[in-house]
Structure 1
Amino acid sequence: MSKNVRLKHSGLRDTAIVGVGATPYYKRGESADRSINQLAGEAILAACADAGLSVRDVDGLAFYSLARAGYADQMEAGEFVETLGIRELRFSAALTGGGGGSAGAIGLARAAIVAGDASIVVTVMALQQRTRLGTVFAAKASTPLASFVQPSGLAGPGHLMSLLTRRHMHQYGTTRDAFAEIAMSTRANALNRPKARYREPLTHDQYFGARMLADPLCLYDFCMESEGAVAVVTTSIERARDLRQKPVPVVSVAHGGTREWGRAFSWFGMPDDGTFASSGHKSIAQRLYQRAGVTAEDIDVALIYDHFTPMVLMQLEDYGFCAKGEGGPYVLSGAIRHSPERKPGRVSVNPHGGQLSEAYIIGATHIVEGVEQMRGTAINQVTDAELALVTGGPAALPVSGLILGRDR
């Protein structure tokens, strides 16, 4: 059976993304004159317009990160109903955890639609950097759980991530050159994107000359602190084919994770069996591929959650693009560099510039890029792409993954 025939009939394909919308992406503090509801509302209206729908058609909301907007604000379903003029809300739910649920929130929307609880479901994330993410753990009140981390000087996610990174380097010989390649290749993808926050080339010398924030992680290993909002509209595949845009079917989606990953890099209880120096996504990848009936070799473009460069490398391993421990050589071979043509053994990673160079909206921009790649309208388009992988951030459970397809 040919690849095209197999992919056409594989996976779920009972729901589809029909609209995406976003605000401009702002530098930290630039959106302070606007409320979270304004940012989220603008993105929702834009996504509905993209789909050719009225916001009054929306009857479901599928959030993630406990419906938090960034780290300090909360998004309330009732406020959206009131301010946007939604007629009747029939479904509202949120995944727990943080950015790990970004891809999985589309699965939450799908569940509502397949169950008949809603027909047009919006997923939205908005972010204003009112809390300094770099010291978020140090700022929390002391608890029995936090007492294992706070006294060690691990003030923020970067400090915590540095330990997993150092373990991978020790265990597999991974070098900072691999992290530099991820940062530089991602930056190169953002250069021609009008909305990207960083549009200047990043050189090898600049990377290694940058200040160290959490050894071995330097400035360019961290995602940016940006602001804005992104919304996505999901509906049934039947209704999708009557709307404005070409449907982007949900081929496969999964969220959750194993006990060993647990609270991820905020607890370090993982056994030394390869789970510690990983992204915690291996079980998600297995379920995702099984449900879709595909393997990593079938993925044409990968939108990998890139809050820190080493986690891109570890996700590439967990999703089977290379073997465990071989992420460094794989990246350094140029295998993740964007190329319009799909080549064996390579995959275009984050052709939109990702959270390292375009904007950090807690994973939502990756879904937008996946949709545009499957529509064939992306700025850095992978020619004839059939499948796009989108991942939710390696974080506290749940983590998640999503495969989007091209409608035929």
Structure 2
Amino acid sequence: MTLAGKAAIAGIGATEFSKDSGRSELRLASEAVRGALDDAGLAPSDVDGMVTFTMDANAEIAVARELGVGELSFFSRVHYGGGAAAATVQQAAMAVATGAADVVVAYRAFNERSGQRFGQVSSAAAHQVNSSGVDNSFHYPAGIATPAATVAMAAQRYLYEYGATTEDFGRVAVVDRKHAATNPNAWFHGKPISLDEHQASRWIAEPLRLLDCCQETDGGIALVITSAARAKDLPHTPVRVAAAAQGSGTGQYVMTSYYRDELAALPEMGVVGRQLWEQSGLGHSDVDVAVLYDHFTPYVLLQLEELGFCGRGEAKDFITGDTLELHGKLPLNPHGGQLGEAYLHGMNGIAEGVRQIRGSAANQVTGARNVLVTAGTGVPTSGLVLGAYEW
């Protein structure tokens, strides 16, 4: 049994990306879902399944009530923050493929800049009465209490082990911001950066500079997933879920997996990658666009290695020249990624994958047929291969 091709993404919807939405998170979620349904040519009454994140403040039943959705036969929440992004589509695709639901909406909405800011210290994270609270209590007293601080530990080790430099991290930021500059929906539209500007930006948690860290965003994204047969008759070109996977590595923690033999690695993404290649039947040379989760630039390099595009420690050489440009060997984040477009926990990256296959992206990669999308790294994670149907 395989999931490949059984389900399709038929609709995408989004609010504007801002730093102060002026609206409740529930309203943002509702607007995004409504937009996705309109895009798919479906009504709220067609929806019988909903999937979101455990960190989303908008309960499935609340969103359903706001939109006038009737009965739900499937609802699910995926854990581990940004690592859940692609897994929401996996959950929806499994529900559709097994008959648990016919039309499933996956969504994520938050006021992550004007409300609760995930990038700041949250003492509550170490006070949770659960195993995650115990885990966090190990490193919070040492000052490792923000996402940037947790990633900086692994990034520093990566520099030490493989001779990379912070300029190598900066090349990812420069490419993302270049693409965002020509995407009208991106927060940093019209605002590219140079490598010199990256290097001059202030330290956040050494070796991470300000421009290595993704922005904080208010907004919402939603996706409509249904069967390939039903999607074929809807307004837009259906996008095939060619592969979907989750992964957690040995000795896994949430952003603080410091007790493994290798600190400068993301084995959970390796777990995901092996499944994606096997399910899709594709190889690295078949990938036309890579939408890689870029909350912090070093983890883009590590993902390239874990996914097999290059060997351990070789990403710094792999990304030289025009490799990541729109016309390059592996175009990276044509929408600008989370560094340039918006930080919506990776859901905007999935929407970009859909646009690339449809041929409607602001920065369209010519002939894009297969798009690799990854979710949050440093945590248990997920990934997708999106493709075009050959009818």
Same fold (TM over 0.5): yes
Aligned residues of 1:303 and 1:389 also touching (Cα < 8 A)? yes
Q: Which residue of 2 aligns with 1:7?
A: none
Deviation digits for residues 9-36 of structure 1 (CA, Å, limit 9, x no counterpart): x971111000000000011xx11x3111
Aligned residues of 1:190 and 1:351 also touching (Cα < 8 A)? yes
SS at match of 1:62: strand
Note the C-alpha offset of 1:267. Answer: 4.2
Q: Which residue of 1 aligns with 2:260?
A: 270
Note the C-alpha offset of 1:132. Answer: 2.9
- CA–CA distance in 1 between the matches of 2:168 and 2:264? 19
Note the C-alpha offset of 1:270. Answer: 1.9
Aligned residues of 2:40 and 2:235 also touching (Cα < 8 A)? yes
Q: Which residue of 2 aligns with 1:371?
A: 354
Q: Which residue of 1 aligns with 2:272?
A: 284
- Listed as ranges, the matches of 1:5-404 within 5 Å are 12-27=4-19, 30-31=20-21, 33-64=22-53, 66=54, 68-69=55-56, 74-129=57-112, 130-142=115-127, 143-199=133-189, 200-260=191-251, 262-272=252-262, 276-278=264-266, 280-339=268-327, 346-397=329-380, 399-404=381-386
SS at match of 1:149: helix
Note the C-alpha offset of 1:387. Answer: 0.4
Match for 1:377: what amino acid? Answer: S
- CA–CA distance in 1 between the matches of 2:123 and 2:160? 27
- CA–CA distance in 2 between the matches of 1:53 and 1:145? 44
SS at match of 2:255: helix
Note the C-alpha offset of 1:139. Answer: 4.9
SS at match of 1:61: strand
- CA–CA distance in 1 between the matches of 2:43 and 2:77? 23
SS at match of 1:18: strand
- CA–CA distance in 2 between the matches of 1:218 and 1:134? 14
- CA–CA distance in 2 between the matches of 1:11 and 1:387? 16
Aligned residues of 1:98 and 1:395 also touching (Cα < 8 A)? no
Give the paired residue count: 381
CA RMSD of aligned residues (A): 1.6
Q: Which residue of 1 aligns with 2:130?
A: none
Q: Which residue of 1 aligns with 2:387?
A: 405
Aligned residues of 1:47 and 1:232 also touching (Cα < 8 A)? yes
- CA–CA distance in 1 between the matches of 2:40 and 2:326? 28
Aligned residues of 2:269 and 2:307 also touching (Cα < 8 A)? yes
- CA–CA distance in 2 between the matches of 1:80 and 1:139? 27
Change (3 A) 1:63 1:238: same
Range that drifts further, 329-338 or 191-200:
329-338
Note the C-alpha offset of 1:376. Answer: 1.1
Change (3 A) 1:128 1:84: same
- CA–CA distance in 2 between the matches of 1:145 and 1:46? 39
- CA–CA distance in 2 between the matches of 1:141 and 1:325? 33
Match for 1:298: what amino acid? Answer: D
Change (3 A) 1:103 1:188: same
Aligned residues of 2:241 and 2:387 also touching (Cα < 8 A)? yes
Match for 1:224: what amino acid? Answer: Q
For structure 1, which runs of at least 5 residues remain unmatched after alignment?
Answer: 1-9
- CA–CA distance in 2 between the matches of 1:406 and 1:331? 27
- CA–CA distance in 2 between the matches of 1:137 and 1:163? 19
SS at match of 1:280: helix
Note the C-alpha offset of 1:140. Answer: 3.1
Match for 2:187: what amino acid? Answer: R
